Amino acid sequence: MNEHMTPILDEAAPADGAYLAGQPYQIVERNGVRYTLLGTAHVSRASVDAVVAAIADGNFDAVAVELDPQRLQALDDPEALAKLDLVKVIREGKVALFAANLGLAAYQRRLAEQLGIEPGAELKAAANAAKGRDLPLHLIDRDVGITFKRISAGLGFFGRIKLGTGLVTSLLVDDEVGEEEIENLKQGDMLESSFGEFAKQSPALFAALIDERDQYMAARLRQIEVPTKADGTPYEVLAVVGAGHLQGLARYLGEEQREPAGLCAGLEYVENRRKLPWFTIVITALVLGGIGWGFWNGGLAVGADLLKQWVLYTAGLAALGCALAGGHPLSILAGAIAAPLKPFRPGIPSGTFSALVEVRIRKPAYGDFLALRDDAQTWRGWYRNRVSRVVLNFILTNLGTGVGVWIAGARIFGKLAG
């Protein structure tokens, strides 16, 4: 294989590429294709101007952007959320993913209001400019839903608890984005910045957010079909990516030898977790075994007392969580009934039942979906908007149930040990 890689970073642009002057970029040439990797800041007007100038003045045959179809749709069509089937989201167990997307949207909107520019505006400008010049447009980033799932799978139970707690906190905070975060955005990646300090502390999270996507985008670039040019010159591809991906993307694009289709498939794979987590099995065995032992050895009074402890804490705290989310009384009742039955349906969270009741009784209106991006910026908006309130209902009901399970399990164990 005849490959040639010429890295260029923060140097004076070539004479025929003045649009690159002052911008971080790298050029990689491989197998008859010259990839110009233009690093951008997701909150910079200068990056928008540089992208537009590059596509207008450059002799490019195709344009690639650090987007997946879902994120491009969110940039192009802010009303896309109005077409969402919320009941389907709940039934398919995608509420957590939906909540993560809402948190990301709220973070981006706060940035837009604070800085006067929509995060990712340069990616949207690149896509529109490519369409305007009839250039092939390639969306090379991995689906954001797959990225979130691989993050969750790589963290383990306690890591997911920590991340989920941080997510809930971020949903209800409307503070301004700090200067350090803004500077990180100018040099890094939108998704990485959205996860804040946790991204720096977790190697698994960093790998899924940055390194895996560097590999994936490099493979996707190599998958671009390249027609033969009559004049024998290289096929020119402009790839617009966040500056944080520039070095890794250039390295994988120039050095990776694995077949790109198989590499992409591997990086899109998410293990289907069918086995019950060990802690679920332990808690279930403790509760059922403890209550059964109470009835067998202690008689009806002891068994009934243990059963009462279980129902009281799981149902009571699930109902409290739902109430704190502003749930309808029937939603609170549904969560309270479902919570004590958790050992018998470990794959279906109690929040699913309360959220389904909530969305049926307080069906979100079209205006709720339209206002969702704005309402998701403040904790008042989360309670006011019927869509986001369903998400809160799901999250806080599950949180209450989880706390109730641990408290009830501890009390049952204490009574048995005593």
Q: Is 365 helix (H, G, I), strand (E, B) or coil?
A: coil
- pLDDT tens digit string along 154-172? 666 666 666 666 555 555 5
The DSSP bridge partners found for residue 240 are 38, 65
- pLDDT tens digit string along 79-107? 665 566 778 878 777 777 777 667 666 66
Q: Concatenated DSSP letters for 315-352? A: HHHHHHHHHHTT--HHHHHHHHHHGGGGGG-TTS-HHH
68-72, 193-197, 233-237, 330-334: least confident range: 193-197
Q: Concatenated DSSP letters for 82-96? A: GG--HHHHHHTT-HH
Alpha carbons 63 and 138: distance in angstroms, whole number: 6
Q: Whole-model pTM?
A: 0.68
Angle between the N-to-C axes of helices 121-132 and 45-57, in degrees from 0 to 180, rounded to the nearest 10: 20
For the chain, give the percent of residues with pLDDT over 70: 65
- pLDDT tens digit string along 213-232? 999 999 999 999 888 777 77
Predicted confidence at residue 188, as pLDDT, reads 53
Around Cβ 312, how many Cβ atoms within 10 Å?
Answer: 15
- pLDDT tens digit string along 272-294? 665 555 656 666 666 667 667 66
Predicted confidence at residue 280, as pLDDT, reads 61
Which residue has better confidence, 320 or 150?
Answer: 320
> Is the distance from CB of 42 to CB of 185 less than 8 angstroms?
yes
Which residue has better confidence, 199 or 325?
Answer: 325
Question: In this model, does residue 394 exceed pLDDT 80?
Answer: yes
Confidence of residue 62 (pLDDT cuts 50, 70, 90): very high
Burial profile 230-265: b = 16 or more Cβ within 10 angstroms, e = fewer? eeeebbbbbbbbbbbbbbbbbbbbbebeeebeebbe
> Is the distance from CB of 172 to CB of 379 less than 8 angstroms?
yes
For the chain, give the percent of residues with pLDDT over 90: 26
Predicted confidence at residue 374, as pLDDT, reads 73
> Is the distance from CB of 42 to CB of 120 less than 8 angstroms?
yes
Alpha carbons 50 and 159: distance in angstroms, whole number: 39
Question: In this model, does residue 120 exceed pLDDT 80?
Answer: no
Contacts of 391 (CB under 8 A, 6+ apart): 95, 98, 99, 102, 355, 382
Confidence of residue 388 (pLDDT cuts 50, 70, 90): confident
Query: Chain-wide mean pLDDT for the chain?
Result: 77
